[in-house]
Amino acid sequence: MLDTALVVMARYPEAGTTKTRLARTIGDEAAVHLYRAFLTDLAMRFAGESCGAALHWNYTPPEVDFRAFVATLSPTQTPNMHCFPQRGADFGARMHAAFQWTRAHGFKHTILIGSDSPHIRLEAVSQARAALDEADVVLGPAEDGGYYLIAMREPHDLFSGIPMSTRSVLEMTIAAARRQGLTTRLLEPLFDIDELPDLLRLARLLEVQRDLAPVTADHLNIHEYT
């Protein structure tokens, strides 16, 4: 059994609840298809043995059959993907619960990522895992002030009282870690796809580095968003 869990916080793609900020510009159905491309790229990249971590989808809403859904994203990797529902009153509580779940199931290291950056590299996960040998908390800063990755050995509560989706999330999380006497390590920054300018930026990136997210790249080649 691998000692590291890679947890992707994900939502079942449904019109009206998926990528809502982006959907206001490109439409609900377009946002669903785009997000499905994001999830497919993540499944194809991280479900294989080269990841070095057991891929888990921490999904919402909890009543959906998410395992059946992700099996359609990368059928050959279905045995290597695991699912458990999100639990908690808010997003911070749900992330904390994810760390508690993986620890309770025997994993010594947990790396949690969002599903809004389909271009996240395999190397980012490897670097986070290596950094956990020395640091208590590893963070991948997002350019909007949050983070696209958080990794820990123990399920420390670095989430309570921190307003998510604000520009101070990363700063406040580091401060919370320091108050608890925890050491931190930062990875290279990355941008999330939340608004149309982010999507257009991703499209330009994938024009020259298609391998970062090939399914998303193909989707963007077919659908032009302006």
pLDDT in tens, 21-37: 999 999 999 999 999 99
> In the prediction, which pLDDT does 226 show?
61
CATH C-level class of 4-194 = alpha beta
> In the prediction, which pLDDT does 28 show?
94
Q: Considering Cα of 134, then 144, then 219, then 11, what sign does the dihedral take?
A: positive
Find, among 109, 154, 106, the residue nearest to 128 by Cα.
Answer: 109
> In the prediction, which pLDDT does 160 show?
92
CB 1 within 8 A of CB 107: no
In the chain, where are the structural domains located?
4-194
Find, among 39, 47, 53, 45, the residue nearest to 11 by Cα.
Answer: 39
Encoded amino acid at 179, one letter: R
Q: Is the pLDDT of residue 167 over 90?
A: no
Q: Is the pLDDT of residue 137 over 80?
A: yes
Give me the chain's average pLDDT, please.
Answer: 94
CB 112 within 8 A of CB 9: yes
